[in-house]
């Protein structure tokens, strides 16, 4: 199995802040971990969207805030009010 590799060398030099969409899932945690080697080159804004659709949505938000305190320079959270009974949530 090959290890994951992340290379940000193709980004323009004018980019100095990375916004990280953080769901609190394992893929988001892995990405945040891989990005740590770029801490001296970029500031990180960890951005969590609380959709409020899962029973553990608040726990996911709390976990995102904890990860942000450890691994990011800034934390942003937005809350959505979605009604799953009104149709296709992806389209909204």
Mean pLDDT of 60-81: 95
Q: Residue 78: which residues within 8 A CB-CB, separation 6 or more?
A: 47, 48, 49, 50
Distance in angstroms (rounded) separating the CA atoms of residues 3 and 37:
15
Mean pLDDT of 68-80: 95
pTM of the model: 0.82
Q: Are 84 and 53 in contact (CB under 8 A)?
A: yes
Distance in angstroms (rounded) separating the CA atoms of residues 25 and 4:
17
pLDDT-derived band at 86 (thresholds 50, 70, 90) equals low
């Amino acid at each position: 199995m090959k290890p994951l590799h992340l290379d940000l060398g193709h980004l323009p030099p004018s980019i100095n802040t990375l916004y990280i969409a953080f769901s609190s899932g394992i893929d988001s945690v892995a990405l945040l971990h891989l990005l740590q080697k770029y801490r001296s080159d970029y500031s990180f804004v960890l951005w969590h969207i609380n959709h409020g659709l899962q029973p553990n949505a608040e726990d996911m938000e709390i976990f995102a805030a904890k990860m942000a305190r450890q691994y990011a320079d800034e934390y942003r959270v937005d809350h959505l009010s979605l009604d799953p009974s009104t149709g296709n949530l992806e389209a909204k």
